[in-house]
Structure 1
Amino acid sequence: MSRFDIFREAGNPMFNENKLKMGIFAPNLSNSCTMTLAESSFEPNFETNVKIAKLLEDAGYECIVPAARWRGFGGPTNLHGRCMETFTWSAAMAAVTEKIYLFCTSHVPTMHPIVAAKMISTIDDISQGRIGLNTVVGWFPKEMEMFGGTKMEHDKGYKYSTEWLEIVLRLWSEQYFDHKGEFFEIKDGFSEPKPVQNPRPVLISAGTSPAGRNYAARFTDFNFGYIESIEQASEWTKTVRKLAWEEYHREINTFTSSFVVCRPTEKEAKEYYDYYVREQGDWEVAKIITDMFGMHASSHSKEYLSMAQERFIGGFNGWPLVGTPEQVAEGLIKIANSGVSGTLVTFVDYLKEMPYFNENVLPLLEQAGIRNPVAKNNSITHKKEAESLIGSR
């Protein structure tokens, strides 16, 4: 039985029968994934996150992936200046949810693997097997400087991550061991409790460079990445699956991110997109981030740079889904047919926009056969539980 088969047999939602898995990205960050000054009720706090999680569970989403940030990027929005730390966020969310799969995102240079392993195992116990780990090398220099270091050279960062994750995996499965490597030395390594999940918590990582893809292929269950076109998404998925199988005899899936502007008419959707991106967009922070990714290089045209910055403002470089419910559903169906196994959707205002999306887009995905119908669960009970919890704070 393969690792994926074991996950499926255990009922892990990340390996269910839906052709397109769905989740949301970065509800723990100020502005989430949008770089805009447009008004929104969204706040990266516990109360808002509980409400969002209940919406997701009632609609049958598979997961929530928080993003790890230690400081803002500046600009008028100071994008991500406020961030709920992902391990403590996951523990809190595990206690107030029942079905949705949660992830911790860890900048591996900021946390010792012994600490990370025990924290994940503890949250796995709280959630009864609903926690996964997203490992990140760290690409924002000012964050790494806060921890007394510098941003690692790209390939060295993945060597560090490899040793870090190998230690975590041993702590989850072994009782006592010694380790002496390039970056860590451990005597009588030990951690209890062990994870509840079998064979272990789900692992994901972003990275489309050769080193990033090799790391994902060797260790993780999902390679996360942003797509440039449906054709590129298909090629990326085929390439990383081929690499994982031929080099490590492992299965792997891909996951992406999409930002959504869904309205009753195409005109309304495009007008709102123009408003929050082109009129109210934080173009200063978009330039800061695209420069950080090297998109200012002279090889790129002004038109390309403007398009890239729009994508970052719209949803941190996610795939744009702007239009009517039918048009948005068509875009999601194309992602599913490309071979990408899932997408994290993002909104300017989750609590205002997600109910319309859930009511009008998800049924179209069910009709298309890429998601199974969700049995009507006790959403009233969920609502009362959330209101009671929030009201008691």
Structure 2
Amino acid sequence: MPENNNSNTEEIRFAYWVPNVSGGLVVSNIEQRTDWGIDYNRRLAQAAEKNGFDYALSQIRFTAGYGAEYQHESVSFSHAILAATEKLKVIAAILPGPWKPALAAKQLATIDQLTNGRVAVNIVSGWFKGEFDAIGEAWPEHDERYVRSEEFIRSLKGIWSQDHFNFDGKYYQFKDYTLKPKPLQQPHIEVFQGGSSRAARDMASRVSDWYLTNGNNLEGIKEQVIDIREKAKANNHQVKIGVNAFVIVRDTEEEAQAVLQEIIDHANPEAVNAFGDATRQAGAASPEGEGNWAKSTFEDLVQYNDGFKTNLIGTPQQVAERIVALKQVGVDLILAGFLHFIEEVEYFGEKVVPLVRELETQKTIELRAG
């Protein structure tokens, strides 16, 4: 396997999961000092942008399940967070199917105008068949969902960057369409996508600005980065990489590991197993059997984006070193979840981010010297 000696001297970026869905970020009965309401989320967003976070990612859910009894709609909730902040960029998650590209393009262009270019979009191809069935939306097979998402992204980028846009796809068609006003961001609003399957990686290598993958160990992430970057280069395209991580930072390693064990010990077995059953459609149902969650254990699924696997669990020094190691294999962004959001975001900003910046500076000096 070829090496990926990442010579990127840009600072690694930090994002956090917006808790616009009830139940927190772990499927456990452990106390989670967080809240899905707007007042808490405004305070969280303000704390995040003061503590080194560049992005926030809102979640998209239409139905209850797996501890998420209540869900605020992602685009409107993202706009409310943007209105309460000054620098933070908020990534609104949307689903092709319920959304059409013409609506999404216009909706997001307006928000971009109103927030001085601070909105982004995450195209979620879909993993929860029961949700689509409940709202009467078609559920294409795994790879077809990525065909539809790619057309969706091509449509968004075309609408945002061209006048008299034309597109003749399997799922979407446009004829001589001009959107005004266009977004402030040029050439277009940033487009994120997730997924771990071959279809997800291939789509990212063609059309997405950012690829977000579930948590994984360093070697697994390195393999994904190399695969995507080699394919993107062949397509004359560039894509940045974000990795999901559930972050547990404490003063000692023993404290951090004790919190992890307590989360798992208090897991909700019924909810975790139901989630695991639902995600097999998204994971093992991919042709190569390597989609999201295809290889996740019960313990992994307690954090529903495999966030424990990334192992940002330990002291500030340990976590900072692991973050910089991720950067060295090509990761551009850490997408973080926390147990007690506001207080842990503040602790992370105070204790971890400065160490990361120091280590990055050291690595840059070493690269230039070498």
42, 46, 53: which one pairs with 1:50?
Answer: 42
> 1:293 deviation in Å?
3.1
Query: How far apart are the structure 1 equivalents of 2:284 and 2:329?
Result: 30
C-alpha distance after superposition, 1:318-370 (max 9, x if no partner): 12322222222222222122211111111111023222222211221122126
Counterpart residue type for residue 182 of structure 2: K
Query: How far apart are the structure 2 equivalents of 1:32 and 1:158?
Result: 28
Deviates more, 1:353-362 or 1:122-131: 353-362
Matched, 1:149 2:137: yes
Pair 1:291–1:191, CA change in 2 (3 A): same
Structure holding more helix per residue = 1
Are the counterparts in 1 of residues 78 and 91 from structure 2 also a CA contact under 8 Å? yes
> 1:226 deviation in Å?
1.9
> 1:135 deviation in Å?
0.6
Pair 1:18–1:60, CA change in 2 (3 A): farther
Counterpart residue type for residue 360 of structure 1: K
Query: How far apart are the structure 2 equivalents of 1:162 and 1:269?
Result: 40
Query: How far apart are the structure 1 equivalents of 2:346 and 2:179?
Result: 42
Structure 1 counterpart of 2:71: 83
RMSD: 2.5
Structure 1 counterpart of 2:237: 250
Structure 1 counterpart of 2:108: 120
Are the counterparts in 1 of residues 252 and 314 from structure 2 also a CA contact under 8 Å? yes
Pair 1:307–1:215, CA change in 2 (3 A): closer
Are the counterparts in 2 of residues 311 and 320 from structure 1 also a CA contact under 8 Å? no
Are the counterparts in 2 of residues 68 and 106 from structure 1 also a CA contact under 8 Å? yes
Pair 1:348–1:233, CA change in 2 (3 A): same
5 Å-filtered alignment, 1:363-374, equals 363-369=354-360
Query: How far apart are the structure 2 equivalents of 1:127 and 1:370?
Result: 32
310, 324, 327: which one pairs with 2:299?
Answer: 310
Query: How far apart are the structure 2 equivalents of 1:367 and 1:177?
Result: 46
Structure 2 counterpart of 1:284: 270
* Identity over aligned pairs, percent: 27
Deviates more, 1:352-361 or 1:338-347: 352-361
Matched, 1:169 2:160: no
C-alpha distance after superposition, 1:262-307 (max 9, x if no partner): 11122222222222221x212222222223333799xx9xxx9997
Deviates more, 1:109-118 or 1:140-149: 140-149
Query: How far apart are the structure 2 equivalents of 1:364 and 1:205?
Result: 29
Are the counterparts in 1 of residues 51 and 345 from structure 2 also a CA contact under 8 Å? no
Matched, 1:103 2:91: yes
Pair 1:292–1:371, CA change in 2 (3 A): farther
Pair 1:127–1:334, CA change in 2 (3 A): same
> 1:308 deviation in Å?
2.2
Query: How far apart are the structure 2 equivalents of 1:44 and 1:256?
Result: 23
Matched, 1:66 2:51: no
Are the counterparts in 2 of residues 237 and 253 from structure 1 also a CA contact under 8 Å? no
Pair 1:314–1:206, CA change in 2 (3 A): closer
C-alpha distance after superposition, 1:168-217 (max 9, x if no partner): 22221233345443223445433222010011111111122222112111
Matched, 1:272 2:259: yes
Counterpart residue type for residue 161 of structure 1: S
Counterpart residue type for residue 258 of structure 1: A
Pair 1:32–1:191, CA change in 2 (3 A): farther
What stretches of structure 2 of length at least 5 have no aligned partner? 1-7, 364-370
Counterpart residue type for residue 219 of structure 2: E
TM-score normalised by structure 1 residue count? 0.81
TM-score normalised by structure 2 residue count? 0.86
Query: How far apart are the structure 2 equivalents of 1:128 and 1:164?
Result: 24
Query: How far apart are the structure 2 equivalents of 1:58 and 1:220?
Result: 28
Pair 1:259–1:227, CA change in 2 (3 A): closer
Structure 2 counterpart of 1:322: 313
Structure 2 counterpart of 1:380: none
What stretches of structure 1 of length at least 5 have no aligned partner? 1-15, 373-393
Pair 1:174–1:338, CA change in 2 (3 A): closer
Pair 1:194–1:291, CA change in 2 (3 A): same
Query: How far apart are the structure 1 equivalents of 2:75 and 2:362?
Result: 30
Pair 1:96–1:38, CA change in 2 (3 A): same
- Three-state SS of the structure 2 residue aligned to 1:94 is helix
210, 220, 235: which one pairs with 1:232?
Answer: 220
> 1:84 deviation in Å?
1.7
> 1:162 deviation in Å?
2.2
C-alpha distance after superposition, 1:77-130 (max 9, x if no partner): x42222221110121122111111111111111111111000110110111111
Query: How far apart are the structure 1 equivalents of 2:231 and 2:53?
Result: 29
Are the counterparts in 1 of residues 251 and 316 from structure 2 also a CA contact under 8 Å? yes
Query: How far apart are the structure 2 equivalents of 1:126 and 1:17?
Result: 32
Are the counterparts in 1 of residues 98 and 137 from structure 2 also a CA contact under 8 Å? no
Are the counterparts in 2 of residues 18 and 370 from structure 1 also a CA contact under 8 Å? no
- Three-state SS of the structure 2 residue aligned to 1:183 is coil
Pair 1:314–1:208, CA change in 2 (3 A): closer
